[in-house]
Amino acid sequence: MTVSGTVRNGGSGSWLGADWQSDERELAANGGSLSGASLVDEQGKKKYLVLRDTNGRCLCTKFSRLRSGESATWFAQFPAPPEGTTKVSFQVGAMPPASLEISEGE
């Protein structure tokens, strides 16, 4: 399952996404990335972490420094929830969870 979006730096300084990275040792080399993101299936009582390749890199966006006013698209890939799951919460960093409706092929 792929989750994607756009992030915009609305602050006055640079932004790198450091608080979005995972604190897992294996993912430390991912730097400012979405490696710390997760999906939570409340109904199925399950949490899904970002997938990794065979070298331990997350299957997600690694950010370059965003200057004030700049935007960047991002993605993160997760294991697919069981068939019939229609809603999950996307969580990353200190942001509040975002409720996502699951759809086919979008």
pLDDT at 7 exceeding the cut of 60: yes
Confirm whether pTM is higher than 0.75: yes
Look up residue 66 and give its DSSP letter.
B
Q: Span 2-101: which CATH code?
A: 2.60.40
Domain boundaries, the chain: 2-101
What is the distance between the alpha carbons of residues 42 and 40, in angstroms, rounded to a whole number?
6
CB neighbourhood size of 80 (10 A): 12
Q: Per residue in 69-104, pLDDT tens?
A: 999 899 999 999 998 899 999 998 888 999 999 887
Higher-pLDDT residue of 57, 39: 39
Residue 35: what pLDDT? 81
In the 3-class helix/strand/coil scheme, how is 41-63 assigned residue by residue?
ECCCCEEEECCECCCCCECECEC
Share of the chain above pLDDT 70, in %: 83
Residue 27: what pLDDT? 61
What is the distance between the alpha carbons of residues 17 and 19, in angstroms, rounded to a whole number?
6
